[in-house]
Amino acid sequence: MNAKPLPLSGNERTPDAELRGIRKVYDNGARGVEHLDLTVARGEFFALLGPSGCGKSTTLRILAGLEEPTAGEVLIRGEPMRGRPSHRRPTNMVFQRLALFPHLTVAQNVAFGPRLHRWPRARIEKTVAAKLELVGLSGYGDRLPAQLSGGQQQRVAIARALANEPAVLLLDEPLGALDLRLRVQMQQALKRIQHDSGTTFVYVTHDQVEALTMADRMAVMNEGRIEQVGAPADLYRAPETVFTATFLGDTNLFEGSPRGDVLDVDGVGIKIPRSGRTVSVRPEHVTVAERVAPRFANRFRGRLEDVIFQGASTRYHVRLPPGLLVIAEQREETGTPFSVGDEVEIGWDAGAAVVLDK
């Protein structure tokens, strides 16, 4: 279940995090982020997604107060953060390296922050119990970190970060060190924890599936700039740029000369929803058959160059006579077994193509 961020109106509904005109230039002249504007609503699970070196971790560190921006302003719940060190900001951070105190029990690890802030003992005990219940570790308070699995240790780190009741929890690729199966389990657990706690999460990842699975909204970053912001489904189905289209999953990119609602690509006329020079068509929208249905606006014959079995689906590489390569992906139960070298027909609707403006 997705958390439902509150509408951004009224003082009590001020965005939990805002970045206004943020730039970061290092002493050696390297640019970390450039002209970055971002608003994260209260109660959102917001993901920063992009390749290594795109500026997403730098953005998170600027939010946390671990780095000062060269220009621009950071606000948490409407309050400017310039000059305020990280330990005085209403944020907390979870890294890939958990840094749990090995000599302290689970309960003592979770209680560390509240004790540092000199909370009353009764409040600390109540908070520890509540956070351990939130992450599904009630009854584990007396154990040491070494007695827990990797996923359990990760949940202790989340509980410890939430114990200080931050306005915004910042997470820097916290699942990167886990194996695939455990990572999938933790994705589900993190989303539940975020929803149940109501805390705003800003989550950095280079894993597209992770962001698509967990985020309410996400920003795709490239070379220190934001390419596009929106709901995961919107960014996947309606990318605005070539980078967003290709980074969020495999796609067929066709570039050519537009003639109204037809794009000429190496002599192949592809019908498109509106005029444009570059379009994206996801492989799952392309049908492969001996003969495809006449309803498809785009129908072409070609020869199979590769057939890749992927378990639940099969991927087909089809070469059209002019030399154009088209990739199709079909669910295994709906697919017809073809072999390399077979002549087939492919088809897709004109509306399956997304015109990319840049």
Average pLDDT over residues 26-47: 94
Q: Tens digits of per-residue pLDDT, 313-342?
A: 899 999 999 899 999 998 876 656 789 999
CA distance 194 to 186: 12
Distance CA 83, CA 194 (A): 29
The conformation of residue 221, written as its DSSP 8-state character, comes to E
pLDDT score at 1:
34
**Structure confidence by residue, pLDDT tens digits, 93-138:** 998 777 899 999 999 999 999 999 999 999 999 999 999 999 999 9
**Tokens matching residue 115:** 């004790």
Is the pTM higher than 0.85?
Answer: yes
List the domain boundaries for the chain. 11-244, 250-355
- pLDDT higher than threshold 80 for residue 305: yes
Helix (H) / strand (E) containing 45? strand 45-49
CATH T-level fold of 250-355: OB fold (Dihydrolipoamide Acetyltransferase, E2P) (2.40.50)
Look at strands 200-205 and 45-49 and give their pairing: parallel
Least confident of 45-49, 88-92, 216-220, 331-335: 331-335
11-244: CATH homologous superfamily? P-loop containing nucleotide triphosphate hydrolases (3.40.50.300)
- Given a contact cutoff of 8 angstroms between Cβ atoms, the answer to whether 134 and 110 are in contact is no
Whether 11-244 and 250-355 share one fold: the answer is: no
* pLDDT, position 3: 37
Cβ proximity of 288 and 338 under 8 Å: yes
Query: Which pLDDT score, from 0 to 100, does residue 10 have?
Result: 42
**Of the candidates 65, 75, 98, the residue with the CA atom closest to the CA atom of residue 15:** 75
Distance CA 212, CA 233 (A): 8
Strand ranges across the sheet with 354-355: 252-255, 278-281, 354-355
pLDDT in the model for residue 57: 94
Write down the pLDDT at residue 7: 40
% pLDDT > 90, the chain? 80
Q: What is the pLDDT of residue 95?
A: 85
DSSP label at residue 32: E
In this prediction, residue 257 carries a pLDDT of 95
Q: How many CA atoms lie within 13 A of 48 on its CB side?
A: 32
CA dist 192 and 103 (Å) reads 29
Token pair, residue 269, equals 């006329």
> What value does the mean pLDDT take over residues 170-184?
87
Using one digit for the tens of pLDDT, what is the confidence trace for 206-257? 999 999 999 999 999 999 999 999 999 999 999 999 999 999 999 999 999 9
Which two three-digit tokens encode residue 193?
Answer: 């924890």
Cβ–Cβ < 8 Å for 293, 281 = no
